[in-house]
Amino acid sequence: MTTTTQRPEITDAMKQAAKNVFVAMAYTRTIRPIVEEYQKRVLAEIKPPVAEEWLSRGIASRLITDAKDTYLMEDKDFQTYLKRCNEERIKARLHVDNEEFCPLLVAEDLQRQAERVFIETMIPITHLTPERVLFSENGLANYDKLIDLSLRLLAPYVKNNKEVK
């Protein structure tokens, strides 16, 4: 008696979810250099120092030159930074639904949402929920690897597929 294991079928929902991730990734990669360039330019222009409260906690006195360190600014400097970044966003013709939003953070959030939906649609094949992967040892690295491997599996179905909209 021979038993055959039936392979799960790749569905249209999986193909669409994969396409959504590819589009979100492309959008993030398009937005990133524009936003990072004007953030760096604004920081060089306003030359904000590390706030006094952070100096008292052992952070070295220096000028903030990287957007990832903007939380170290005094509130007034941060407000100036946000105002100038918004002006640069407008010049760059980047749309956001709320003037207080950073287009790069919006793009990254859209990508994360698309990736989560994709992982959820792939459960019949992978048998892995987002939570199971994220709460495992090396969860974030495993999550990224799952996305990458699943996209590689679906890429041939998405590439040049006119049916997926």
Residue pLDDT, tens place only, 13-22: 999 999 999 9
- pLDDT value at position 58? 81
Does residue 17 form part of some domain?
yes
pTM of the model: 0.85
Which residue range(s) make up the domain with 101? Answer: 12-158
Does residue 91 form part of some domain?
yes
- pLDDT value at position 74? 94
Does residue 2 form part of some domain?
no
Q: Is the dihedral of CA 108, 68, 56, 53 positive or negative?
A: negative
User: Distance between CA 113 and CA 130 in Å, rounded?
Assistant: 11
Does residue 76 form part of some domain?
yes
Does residue 72 form part of some domain?
yes
Q: Which long-range contacts (C-beta less than 8 Å, at least 24 apart) are formed by 42-50?
A: 42/81, 42/84, 42/85, 42/88, 43/67, 43/70, 43/81, 45/84, 46/77, 46/80, 46/81, 46/84, 48/73, 48/74, 48/77, 48/78, 48/80, 48/81, 49/73, 49/74, 49/77
Return the exposure string of 42-54: e unless at least 16 CB atoms fall within 10 Å of the residue's CB, then b: bbeebebebbeeb
- Please choose, from the candidates 98, 96, 52, the residue with its C-alpha nearest in 3D space to the C-alpha of residue 75: 52
- Please choose, from the candidates 125, 138, 149, the residue with its C-alpha nearest in 3D space to the C-alpha of residue 21: 149
- pLDDT value at position 2? 57
- pLDDT value at position 20? 97
- pLDDT value at position 116? 97
Q: Which residues of the chain have pLDDT under 70?
A: 1-5, 160-165
Within 10 angstroms of residue 94's Cβ, the number of other Cβ atoms is: 18
- pLDDT value at position 78? 96
- pLDDT value at position 55? 86
- pLDDT value at position 43? 97
Does residue 163 form part of some domain?
no
- Please choose, from the candidates 90, 79, 86, the residue with its C-alpha nearest in 3D space to the C-alpha of residue 102: 86
- pLDDT value at position 82? 96
Number of domains in the chain: 1
Does residue 93 form part of some domain?
yes
Does residue 18 form part of some domain?
yes
